A and B are shown apart, each in its own frame.
Chain A
């Protein structure tokens, strides 16, 4: 009897450990993602070890508290510059860059519907967060996803599933480096090649890399590939 009890305890502990490891990896990927987009995060926050992670987020009952993993980050000066609208002959006083503080929330709920999404949107607007990333363990209902365009004028909501964040796709050797062009760089590129933006090859908004970088419709990314014959070469894609 005692041995089966011990057995069960050991199995439970192992399952708990696996769950913690999954959350640690998702947490790490989302920190890398937020930093890669240009928000300010320290190395310590991004490259936290598993032990440090467990120490920081484990609650009294031994499980990881997702609520404690939530965080916010502000854009770096470089990011603000990349999103700024250049002064042109037509536009002497361009609007300020459409970028701001980002809020990342891990939702523990086993069902995510309209109520949870509405609460998330309200949290973002109440605290003046420009962008929010909602990370869930389950699929969000289709009706709840319709809230995102409905509140788009107030705040920008993106959703990821924990399972999608277990590995950082941009670290895969077959995924080339994607770099977002600033508006000035974009204009210069189109002028240099005498192109309209619609003549560029495209990248979909729903493309995993586009989602990782939080690309918006109309933005242009530079894609840098390594080639054995040509060294490094760049191509450009318009986000549609």
Chain B
């Protein structure tokens, strides 16, 4: 418990070995980042020409296969990558929503703005930039696309946790066809029975391990959790303890078993000064120790 595996391991290595390890670690990170960026580029390229399935499918009822691929490909995307996809689709005259087979609209005439909802209720009244309107085939697709966008993580994919990366994207208009929805429901059922609780446990475990990001996953520090060996049967504390007399002075300061450290820390520091020990080191160590005990 008191010795850290990482420190004992690194201290036996030469400086060159450690330097090499650090270099390799950073090279790995850069490679990972490059791989993900390339993946996003290739996915964007694929989605420019989506959807693959045409009639009877459309944006309000996409084909299950297209919807599935769309969701999978979008996983590493940030909102900015998604915006880039919309730009690329628009360059090719497609509606910005990747599951829509329609061309985008071209507004006639010049001017930067358009007025919407003139004969509806006051709340529908809107002034919109022409450029914004021309990204889509219809206002419905603008909504569908935005619905997806807000679900994308702002964090770059290589810094996300495992759970964040596995998050599923919902569509405003999910596939309606029988086979697809059945398949999807079965898939969801599977997740719910097997994973719903497991997912949460795994997330908690990942958090506890500090296994949060890719950076941490292949980190330089080896983190091993060592359980404390318990050799005797635990006993509830009782007032009859022998050392009670030693605690009598401070017992009135104890709140639900916790004694505030005001007095004891000062005392400890005093002792350390007498020992000539490095105060900073002592503080750090003791703080980490308490963490481990928690």
Contacts and interface: CB of A to CB of B under 8 A. Distances in A.
Max chain A CB contacts within 10 Å: which of B37, B41, B81? B41
Interface in B60-84: 81, 84
A228 to B, nearest CB: 48
B170 interface: no
Contacts of A118: 45
Interface of A: 111-115, 118, 141-144, 146-147, 150
Given A141-B84, A142-B84, A114 B38 contact: no
A141 B41 contact: no
Contacts of B81: 143
Interface stretch (B24-32, B87-95, B228-236, B257-265): B87-95
B91 A111 contact: yes
Nearest to A118: B45
B41 A150 contact: yes
Given A113-B92, A114-B48, A115-B92, A150 B38 contact: yes
Contacts of A113: 87-88, 91-92
A146 B37 contact: yes
A143 B77 CA distance: 13
Interface of B: 37-38, 41, 44-45, 48, 81, 84-85, 87-88, 91-92
A45 to B, nearest CB: 33
A144 B41 CA distance: 9
A147 B87 contact: no
B292 to A, nearest CB: 44
B37 A115 contact: no
Nearest to B80: A142
Q: Chain A contact residues: over half helix, strand or loop, or mixed?
A: helix
Contacts of B84: 141-143
Contacts of A147: 41
Contacts of B92: 113, 115
A114 B37 contact: no
A142 B45 CA distance: 13
27 contacts: A111-B91, A112-B91, A113-B87, A113-B88, A113-B91, A114-B44, A114-B45, A114-B48, A114-B88, A115-B48, A115-B88, A115-B91, A118-B45, A141-B84, A141-B88, A141-B91, A142-B84, A143-B41, A143-B44, A143-B81, A143-B84, A143-B85, A143-B87, A146-B41, A147-B41, A150-B38, A150-B41
A146 B48 CA distance: 15
A142 B44 CA distance: 12
A111 B134 CA distance: 15
A118 B92 CA distance: 13
Nearest to A116: B91
Nearest to B81: A143
A5 B209 CA distance: 79
Contacts of A142: 84
A143 B88 contact: yes
Nearest to A115: B92
A147 B41 CA distance: 8
Nearest to A143: B84
B87 A141 contact: yes
A144 B45 CA distance: 10
Contacts of B87: 113, 141, 143
B242 to A, nearest CB: 69
Contacts of B91: 111-113, 115, 141
Max chain A CB contacts within 10 Å: which of B41, B81, B91, B92? B91
Nearest to B42: A150
Contacts of A143: 41, 44, 81, 84-85, 87-88
Nearest to B44: A143
Contacts of A150: 38, 41
Contacts of B38: 150
A147 B37 CA distance: 11
A147 B91 CA distance: 16
Shortest 4 CB-CB contacts between residues of A and residues of B: A113-B91, A111-B91, A143-B84, A113-B88
